[in-house]
Structure formats: structure tokens, C-alpha cells
Structure 1
Amino acid sequence: MKVSEDIKLVLQNLSAEPGVYHFYDAKEALLYIGKAKNLKRRVSSYFNRKHDSFKTTYMVRKIHRIETLVVDTEMDALLLENNLIKKYQPRYNILLKDDKTYPWICITNDSLPKVYQTRKIEKGKGQYFGPYINSEIIKTLIDFCSELFYTEGWTPNKYLNRIALNDDEVLNYNEIIIEFKMLLKGNTQALIDKLIRDRNNFSQKMQYEKAHVVNQKINILKKYQHKSVIVSPTINDVDVFSIVSDQDYAYVNFFKVSNGAIIQAHPMEIKKKLDETNEELLSMAITEIRQRFHSTSKEALLNISIDSKWKNLKISVPKIGDKYKLVNLCFKNAKNIQKDRIRKNEELRHRLDKKRVLEQLQHDLRLSLKPRHIECFDNSNIQGTNPVAACVVFKNAKPSKKDYRLFNIKTVSGPDDFASMEEVVYRRYKRLMNEGQDLPQLIIIDGGKGQLSSALKSLEKLNLHDSIAIIGIAKRLEEIYFPNDSVPLYLDKRSQSLKVIQELRNEAHRFSINHHRNRRSKNSLGTSLDNIFGIGPKTVDTLISHFGSVKRVLEAQEDELTKLVGKRKADLILERKNLK
């Protein structure tokens, strides 16, 4: 699947943290909202593999813009995804029912508090903990709460019916509830340690089914997150703003919280004109965003302190608790907006640098076209053995490794670099023409006038000599040769043009040498065994696997060889050994 350069840049710079992603089409319509444990890996997977579903394939083709929100945990991503899908109902999402909620644990405000599971939050009834991804986690926690009472001597009847016979029992009951609240606030390790002891005891008694049940509870608790600011009963209808800035820009992130849940997020980038302070810029952003989204919230949570200029709007900068965590999450996303802008600026500078390099190369080599697509060839052989060649490709002054090609020389015998170059250049461009692929604007030959003339012959055979520029570079003095011109060009050693040409030449040489070494190694391994008449590839594999190398095969005793491959083949190997 062809991916646009803008999307490629976004994928390269995505965070590896948990979060939620939005896909938009060219008309800015929201296509899909998804969650991810690792944003970079998950979002990239849409573009680097084939999808079984036609619906998914069609959606990916329509993606024009990607937006992400970073959160702290995978559970936060799940909850935020749920909230946003309900609000926006993107076309390609399975729509969630409006009454879909997550379970909580409620501890009532009674003198003897009741502990129970609920999906409905009733204000003033008690303290709520959660939300939880599933009921299994809640069951494990409530079971543990029961065990806390039973270990203190409470009977199931007294605990479940909350029967306290005296003041001491009332005090003990509430002390146990306080311990359980501490557990729900994050101290799960005590529970996990106890369950591990229970599991080990069951295992020692060979009660493996019970041990398995306890082990499942341990695994659930290890994944458990006790609290999420994505959905919180302690935060109602508020606007959350965070700002971060640098010399040229300010970056503001906005969360809309309604009924305890984040239902909207919006990033804003502000170009500084004068020396505006963060306070001034944030005031402007709050006014703009609240008007744009028709916000009527009476409280705004910020990461910096500013004077309130709005009627009926309370401004606060929380320092602790859920509100602080929410502001911190908002600030984290503002920082991500800033990082994204910095990366884009760096990429833009990089592109401009590459553009200038190509313009300079065009000028220095007197080319009619800007050489966006350059190919470089190099030969490699030792005294004519195992001759190979390589072609490396640069596009927009960067290596395009998927387009690199290797060649085994087929029509040339002996050490003839000129004929080898003529062969590979002809094969390369004959194939590109047959397949209707794009041709380069510039060809570089690693070698002097001889190799260049040979390559030019192939272009003339293909009638390409007038449409593709070709040069040769001689290593010793870095001389640049042009067709039908005996006088070389010497570029300044500090020239960017020369550096690009050298980079191409060195890359082609590296690629060619590696291929030559691999081929030579493969052939040298086979000369001692593969060429023995009567010894086939399977026998060679058996021998090498057993002895480890050709040398050890030839050093082996007759009885060892006979036992492994039989007497007839052992005699053939020993005969070759004696000839050596």
C-alpha cells in the first residue's frame, strides 16, 4: 500500500506510550477512533501489512490525517476510547450503547459501611473506587475484603449483615474498612503476596485446581489499575488547559470533562508575534477554545496561574489529587504537540537541505534535470573469480534500500571489469523499461573512462544515452568523467555535491563487496564436497551438520564417515581427501 510522505513522517514520530488515535479523511471527517498500548506500533500496523477485511483496507486508503492523545496506562486508553466513540460515533467504529458503563466499588458512608459493586454513581452515598475493566477484578477485591473480616474473627453472617454487638466491634469493623480503602487506593502488593502464599500452599497439598484459580486472581491483580482520571467520580464538569512554549510558538492542550469523563480533546498551536508571556497566550487560548466549543463549564483547571477575566469561571491550579493528575495528563499532551512541531521543523530543514544539495549537484554537473533519482554501479571480483556487481539507489539524496539490486555476472569470463559493467547496466535498464518503471536522472559509475565508456555502450543500445545523464568517478583523485570528454572535473573536496557522489560510490562498493564475499564463501565451502561425483546436497548438509565444517569432514576417520553416510560415500570422500 502506498503511504503518503506526510503519513510516513507522522508514523516515524509517534510516541510508544499508551493512548488513543483518531483517523481523519481529506475532508476532515472523523473515520475511526482506536486505543493502543503502544501508539507507534499499533498505528503503524495499519500501513505496513495487508488487511483481511476489505472495510479496513478501504478505510486505511482514506486516511489523510492522524491525531493522537497520550495517556498513562492501557486502561486509561480503553476508557478514553469508550468516551470519545460515544460522543463522536465515527463511521468505522462499532457504535457503543449510550448506557455502556464500567463497574465501580462503592463503600457507603454508613456507620458500618457496606462494600458492593455498582455501575451507577450516586452522589453523597459513599466513596467510589474505580472504574474497573471487568467484574473479575472487583470480585477478587471484594472477596479479599471478606477475608480481612474473617481473619479478624467475623462470621459471614455478622459481616454480611453488618452486625456489631459493641463499640469495640464497631471500631474493629471500621479499621478493616480503612485497610481495604488503602488497598483500593493502590496498595495491591499486600493482596498479591497473600494470594501467592495461598497458591503455594494449595500446590504443596496437590490441590492444583484451587491453585490455578488463585493464580488467575494474581494475574488479574497484576494488570489491575486502581484509579483513572479518564473517568473519575471526584471531577465533574470542568475545562482543563495546559500550556508549554518555546521561543517561537506556544502549545495549548484542552480537555473537556463532562459528568466525570473526558469527552473532548483539542490541541492548539500559537505563533508568537511579540514577546507574549505564557499567561497572555493561555488567556487568549481559553477565550478562543471556550467560544469555539460553546463551553459553559464554571471551573477551569490550569497548569499555570492566571487572573480570571471571565464571569462565572473559577480558575484553579491543582497541586495534588485527581485534578492535578488530569492537568498533568493535559500538560503531557501539550508537550507532545511541541515535540511534534520540533520534529516537523527538523524534517522541513532536512528536506530543504536535501533540496539545496540536489540543486547544487545539478549546477556542478551541468545537468538538465534535478537528480532526484540517482543510481550507482560497482563491480567486484578477485582475479576474475565469482564476479558480481551492485546497483544502489538514492532518492531525494537519501538511500532507497528497497530498490538496491545485486547482479551475478553471466556473460563474462575472467577479470573483465569493462564487459561486466556493460552487462549489468544493460540488464538493469532493459528490465526497468520492460516493467515500465521510473528511470533515474543520473547514473554514477564507480570507475574511470573505461568503465564509463562500457556503461555508455549499454545506454546507446537501449537508446537511453540522450535521456539519462551518466558520469564516472575515479577513486584516486576523485576525478569526475563525462562521456566523450577526456578532461575530468575536479569538485571542491568540501563540496556537498562531491560528498553525495562519494556516499553513493562507497555504498555501492560496500554492497558489492558483501555480495562477493558471500558468494565466494559459499563457493569455497562447496568446492571440497559439492563437486564430488556421487555426493549430493543432502549428504553435504548431513556431513556439515554433524562435523561442523568441511575441514573436519576431511579429517574424519573412515569408520565415522561410514557410520554417518555409508561405505560407498565414505570411500568417495576419502578418495577426494587422498587426491588433495
Structure 2
Amino acid sequence: MPKVNELNEIRASLVALVGQLPHLPGVYRYFDAHDQVLYVGKARDLKKRVSSYFLKNLSSPRIAMMVEKIHRMETTVTRSEAEALILENNLIKALKPKYNILFRDDKSYPYLKITNEASPRMTYYRGAVDKKHQYFGPFPSTWAVKESMQLLQKIFLLRNCEDSVFLNRTRPCLLHQIQRCSAPCVGKISEQDYLADVENAARFLRGRPTEIMQSLETKMYDFSSRLEFESAAMVRNQMAALSKVLHQQSMETSGDADIDILAVVVEGGRACVNLAMVRGGRHLGDRSYFPAAVEYSQAALEGEMEREVLSAFLAQHYVDQFIPAQLIMNVELDAPELMLALMEQCGHRIQCSYQPQEQRRAWLDMAIKGAKLSLARALTEQGAQQLRTRALVDVLELEVEDLSTLRVECFDISHTQGEATQASCVVFHHHAMQHGEYRRFNIKDITGGDDYAAMRQVLQRRFEAFSVVENQAEIVSESNVKENERVMPDIVLIDGGKGQVEVARQVFAEYGLDLSLIVGVAKGEGRRVGLETLVFVDGRESKELGKESAALMLIAQIRDEAHRFAITGMRAKRAKARQTSRLEEIEGIGPKRRQRLLTRFGGIKGVEEASVEDLMTVEGISKSLAEEIYQRLR
């Protein structure tokens, strides 16, 4: 522990450094005595914000605890607070500071896309949006997108088939027969009428049903006046379908408002933010988020943690995401700097409402209820997981004072008949799978299908940093070894029987490591779940835990996750090896153009990284084709 005089000197140097900071926007970082990042924050005025941490009386015990650990700090000046907001969140995601509330980076929201073609089609879409096509969303879930697509098919009969199918039809498909598509592929509808249906679908998604009904009514009377009663009847049916949908839409509201409803609930040391989305006046559903690094304190001021969690969510979620003009929240937020930064980023005003009325009140109440239900479910699952961790510790007779510190690493091998062999390592820690610490290992220089050699290689690469030299464990500390890889697990779980476990024993014996850490999971008769046997190499007898064992449930969860992770990695590696076929799937890219692209950019990776302008320099690649290649390969 540092001496009192040393702490006073550190505090004095920090205060002196604060006095030299400029009155400019920027980002600050605090580090502890071990040079680990404690906290990352942004400020509209660096000097004013950072100096507030060194006041004598801090309102938050959590912040006071952090300030006591600060040994040094770094600052970065930015051109604007919006730029500081982006930098702050990039650093939080990269460094994962202990005292920052961290939300999982889940920005891959789905959209409904209507293409810009002679006969546009609607499709489900994830990824970066562009100005070439129409995108509607984002939607909170895949289900919400597909439900909207079904509505459009019922009312406006839009196509959703691939261009390769659309361009080669000679007769209508089944969707036309069940009245879900107007069959523009074979001319069952004129191009003008189809485009009118596409425009009406876009209006519907923007929340303008009144305009659509007026347009359809005018169209129906027009057909009737020309005695085209069959066409008039089709429009009448379309109006009836639209009226039925609007009547059934219990979440309907007037106007075409885009609103996000945010409800935050903190309980039992955990927090949940429930985000509900309204787009074009239609409620599209909700999604719950659970931040990490929430240290709940009963001594904190009432409502303080809720405000802190909500501020963190707003900053991290909307930093590079669509921000609607209206936000409805259940916690009143006093963060003018944050809101100014978000408005500067999105380019429009953001109205915050905390006491909504009528329909919006109902939306907020539903979001609060959703947050409470999701948090209760998470706390129940957390309790069950803690019981499983305790059961595993008891079964393996481990001496662990704090169950949350138990670290299990599980290894598995995956390949397809010897092709694209990969090993996976998944991590269980703090009663949960730690996805950010998973690793894949490409296995090289072995005979295809030799699982034992593959297991030997991955274990050597993982644990060579812990080899014992002169009876002292020396941990490799090179910069290419990640921090979590310098930690020795409490259990090394091997997905396999005696053969794989024997390989693990040999590797551990070679490095002088503790053999009691190795636990093999041998599959039971017929590979039936619940009949697995635990295999040891330190003299202990094998154990059959039985189907009802909580310890076996946890082992099976970790083992299955390792298997899933290995398979997905293997498939990705195999697909990459065969990746040139992705160019062949793009319409307009034949063998000659594909060869020119691969030659020009040195392979498929170079083509993926090329800009639209670079792609246009290749003979035979027009601007539209270059844009299509650019989008498809991303």
C-alpha cells in the first residue's frame, strides 16, 4: 500500500495538472497504481469537469472510491463535444474501464429495405445504409421487420424474391396465387401501378395511412368511371385490407412520429434499460439491455444510479445510431452537455419528455413493466447460475472463497473431414460466459482430422506462457499476450474422452503445471445428454454426475458453447477459403470480370477493401456495378 505522504504527493501533482487543463472539449482517462484504466469520461470544458472530481465533498460514494485510486490521468482535446462523445465511447468499448457503466456493443439493428429498381422489391436488411435505396427502421427485432413485410405483402402485394428469380420467371409464383404478390415479373400489373403500390407502402411505413386511403379511393373511383370494375374491385379489396390492419393496430397514434421510449430500472445490484421504438406512429416492439460494471450502493443518492445508467446508455447507444426527434424517459435527466452533443451529432433538435400523457403514457408504462420483467428474469437466471457454480466447486472439491472468481476455460476442436481445422477456447467467469475473452486458434502443420495433434497444439499455444522454470512460474509479459491470457484458469475443461485428456496431461506435465486443473468431459452412451463422465488425470476416479446434477448442467452449458464457437469459426474459415464464389453471385460479374478484379486487387480481400472509385478503374466495371460490388462484399 502506498504511504500517506506518497498519496498526498500524487494528489498534489494531479491537482497541479488539473490547473493546467484548457477550457476546451475533450476526453479524460484515469489510471490506478497498476496503470489499469479506472474511468473514461468526456467534457464540454475539460478543466471545469476534471476539477469537479477533486472537490472535498463528492456526492457519490462510488466516485469518491474511484478518486482515491487515481494515480495519473491523460486528456485529449477535441474540436467539439460531439467528437469527444464519439472518442469517449470508442475508448470505453476498447478499454472497458472498471468504473464506467458499459453496455454491450449491439448496433446491428435490422431494417426493411425497398430497392431502387424498375420493379422494386422489399427485403430484410442488416448493415450500413446508403442513399441509393429506401431504408425503414431501425427495428428492435427481426420479428418486427418480418411482421411489417407480411403486412406489406397482404396490402400492397410487393415482391420479395431475389433478382435472379424475378428475371427468370415465365409464370406467376405461389405468392401471386395466394394474393401476396401482384406478379410484376410476368406483367400481371403495369409498371406504373406497381410503382404506385411501392410508394403507398413507403407512406404506410412512414405512418401516413390517411394519404394512402385517399389515394386508393381516388384510384377506385377512377377505375369505376372508366367501367373497369375488376380493377376497381381489386383496389376496393386493398382498401379493406388496409382498414383491417389499421383497426387491429392497437398501438396506432396520430401523425408520423418517430419516438424512442426508454425505461431504466435498478434492483439487486443490476440495471436494465428497456428501449421501445415507435416509427411512423407504429409501435415496433422493445429490447432490453443490461449494462456491465454497475456497482449499486445503498448510500448513493436516490435516483442517482438510474440517471447514471441512462446517461451511459444514451451516449453509447446513440453515438453512431439513428436518434429520433423525441425521447420519452422514466427518469428525469439533467445532462445538457450530453444532449447538446447528441443534437450536434444528429443535426436536429431532440425533445425529451418525462411526464407524457394519454397514448405516450401507456407506452412508457409498458416500457417500465418490460424493464422490470426482464430484470426479474435476469436476476432469477443469475441466482440459478450461482447455484450451478457452487455445485461445480463442490463436485470438484475446489477451495474457492469467492465463487465469482472461478474461471473455467473449455477447449474444443472442429473441422470438416480434416478441412479448415480450428480450435476454440471459451471462458466462464463471474457466473457467466465472457464472450469478449473467447479465442479461436487456426491449427496448422498437422495431419487432417488428427484431433489429438490439434488439441496438443492449442494447449501449447495457450499455456506455454506459464511454463515452470527453476520451480518458479514465469508468465510471459510480452505486449502480444493479452491481459486475460496471463490468468491461469481454475479449471481447464477438455471436450473429449481419455485420449484428449491424455494429450492435455502431457502438455501440462511438459510445462510443469498442476494436473488437477484438467477435467475431461467424455460423452455418454449414444452421446445422450446427462450421461457424460468427468475424466481426471491426477489420480482421481472418473465421475458420473447424473442428469439432475446442477454441476453437470453448467459443464454442459460451457461445453456446448465451446462446440458452437468452434463450429462457427470453422465454417467461417472454410467459407473464406472458398470466398471467390461471392463475386460470382453478383449479377453482372462473369468469369472475365471476376478474374480482372482478383488480378487488379490481388485477391478477394483486396476487392473487399477497395472503394467504389477503385473498383471503377477495372475494365468493364461501371459505377452502378462498382456500388453493387462494394455493398455486397460488406
Q: TM-score range by the shorter chain?
A: 0.3 to 0.5
Task: Give the TM-score taking structure 2 as reference length.
Answer: 0.33
Task: Give the TM-score taking structure 1 as reference length.
Answer: 0.36
